[in-house]
Amino acid sequence: MEIHTCPYAIDPTGRDVHAEAAMLRARGHATQVQLPGGVIAWMITGYTLIKRLLTDPRVSRDSYQHWPAWENGEGELAKTWSLAIWVADRNMMTAYGTEHSRLRKLVVKAFNARSTAVLRPRVEQITADLLDDMAEAGRYGRPVDLRASFAYALPTQVISELLGIPEDLRPTLLRLVHGIFDTTLTPEEAEANVVALYDTMATLLEIKRADPGEDLTTSLITVREGGDGLTERELIDTLLLAFTAGHETTVNLLDHAVYAMLTQPDQLAMVRSGEATWEDVTEETLRWQAPLVNMPLRFAVEDIEIDDDVTIPAGDPILVSFGAAGRTARRG
Ligand code: HEM
């Protein structure tokens, strides 16, 4: 892949994310890139460096506190940047230090290993039904779209049920969430998408407040109304985080894993013979094809020396590349 600009402008279509990451890694494990909309960030592509920075308290996800260019969400970027929603929302994903612990603790009250374990029989039922439907659709050798009929259908149904999203609201919400991940939208399109998304979330809360259910949305409304300090914005953004993180990643993992098994029969044979487990398939797929390739954005709280030649100055954005981390030779 040729380098046309310096810093290199990330391809917003994501046509070949691994070739792009490999080319950038050749420039160094921390190198400057240009994101859609012209924002310059440090892209981190080395496994060891990513591991180090993910646990470094000098790295924050809070744009309001640690990204001067964000101007507290009141400046030009908030109005015109097509990726603004990635740093603008107010939930644990964009919180720092004690704020992160506060938001996470409030969510864990309603959403934890125990509450998700209860879902297992339902997930198994949905899976079995979808597989039956696929078998039926594929009778007499007819082709079946794996992504549409299984990889996408399973996680979206599970997370929608977990959150108690009414069926007629699901297609709209899913379409608007995909808009968040569409890095080719113009600033106007992205803004319209965000407005529609928050309108739809307001409708969801209205419905659930009028008609509570046994679901995560109702539980979080209860947490908010219990006076524990969860604001309305944090409530909405936390629900959005759970809905989005709860399916975009899993859809990609399922797609990639099945594709890998079908295109590498020797690997499938290892699983079938018991030489490797299905857990190995999951772990290896996560490494080989990270469902979330680049994660916007983190910020340097103070100057961070990477090596003798590179220091990330305080206030600079950082883009962690989970996709690149999984493919770093010898975990460099
Ligand atoms: C294959 C499946 C999944 C993958 C690969 C994945 C990946 C990730 C990654 C990489 C992060 C950290 C992002 C960052 O800070 O840079 C993250 C955070 C998070 N994910 Fe997932 N995720 C998956 C499934 C899920 C599901 C099913 C849910 C919810 C139902 C979920 C909810 C969250 C939440 C709430 C956070 C924020 C945690 C925090 O800040 O403390 N994820 N996920």
Q: Please, which pLDDT band fits residue 332 given cuts at 50, 70 and 90?
A: low
Contact (CB, 8 A) for 187 and 80: yes
The reply to whether 127 and 166 lie within a common domain is: yes
Mean pLDDT (whole number) for 104-109 = 86
Atom of ligand 1 nearest to the CA of 253: 1
What is the pLDDT at residue 131?
A: 97
The reply to whether 225 and 143 lie within a common domain is: yes
- Looking up residue 76, the CATH number of its domain turns out to be 3.30.43.20
pLDDT tens per residue across span 235-286: 999 999 999 999 999 999 999 999 999 999 999 999 999 999 999 999 999 9
Q: Please, which pLDDT band fits residue 218 given cuts at 50, 70 and 90?
A: very high
Measured in Å, residue 248 CA sits from the centre of ligand 1 at 10
The reply to whether 39 and 110 lie within a common domain is: no
271 domain-assigned: no
229 vs 39: which has the higher pLDDT: 39
The reply to whether 107 and 65 lie within a common domain is: no
Residue 110 has pLDDT above 90, yes or no: no
Measured in Å, residue 27 CA sits from the centre of ligand 1 at 29
38 domain-assigned: yes
- Looking up residue 106, the CATH number of its domain turns out to be 1.10.630.10
Question: What is the edge-to-edge ordering of all strands in the sheet holding 40-44?
Answer: 8-9, 30-34, 40-44, 317-321, 294-300, 59-60
What is the pLDDT at residue 280?
A: 97
E strand or H helix that includes residue 304:
strand 304-305
Contact (CB, 8 A) for 115 and 220: no
Which residue has its alpha carbon closest to ligand 1 atom 38? 93
Total of domains in the chain: 2
Structural domain span for residue 51: 1-88+291-332
| Sign of the torsion angle spanned by Cα atoms 231, 75, 183, 59 | negative
66-70, 93-97, 110-114: range with lowest mean pLDDT: 110-114
What is the pLDDT at residue 173?
A: 96
Last residue of a domain, one of 212, 246, 280: 246
41 domain-assigned: yes
Q: Please, which pLDDT band fits residue 99 given cuts at 50, 70 and 90?
A: very high
Atom of ligand 1 nearest to the CA of 241: 35
What is the pLDDT at residue 61?
A: 97
% of the chain residues with pLDDT over 70 = 97
Mean pLDDT (whole number) for 220-224 = 92
Cis peptide before 7 (omega within 30 of 0): yes
What are the φ/ψ torsions at residue 275 (nearest 5 degrees)?
-65, -30
279 domain-assigned: no
Mean pLDDT (whole number) for 44-57 = 95
The reply to whether 63 and 196 lie within a common domain is: no
How far is C-alpha 49 from the geometric centre of its chain's CA atoms?
A: 20
254 domain-assigned: no
The reply to whether 224 and 133 lie within a common domain is: yes
The reply to whether 116 and 241 lie within a common domain is: yes
The reply to whether 69 and 4 lie within a common domain is: yes
Structure tokens belonging to residue 212: 């509570």
pLDDT tens per residue across span 161-214: 999 999 999 999 999 999 988 888 998 999 999 999 999 999 999 999 999 999
What is the pLDDT at residue 2?
A: 46
Pick from 327, 307, 226: nearest CA to 30? 307
Last residue of a domain, one of 187, 213, 246: 246
24 vs 110: which has the higher pLDDT: 24
Residue 4: is it exposed, middle or buried by C-beta count within 10 angstroms (0-12/13-18/19+)?
exposed
What is the pLDDT at residue 229?
A: 83
The reply to whether 213 and 296 lie within a common domain is: no
The reply to whether 83 and 101 lie within a common domain is: no
% of the chain residues with pLDDT over 90 = 83
Mean pLDDT (whole number) for 27-41 = 94
Residue 68 has pLDDT above 60, yes or no: yes
Q: Please, which pLDDT band fits residue 116 given cuts at 50, 70 and 90?
A: confident
146 domain-assigned: yes
Measured in Å, residue 150 CA sits from the centre of ligand 1 at 21
278 domain-assigned: no
What is the pLDDT at residue 98?
A: 94
The reply to whether 199 and 297 lie within a common domain is: no
116 domain-assigned: yes
Which residue has its alpha carbon closest to ligand 1 atom 28? 246
The reply to whether 107 and 187 lie within a common domain is: yes
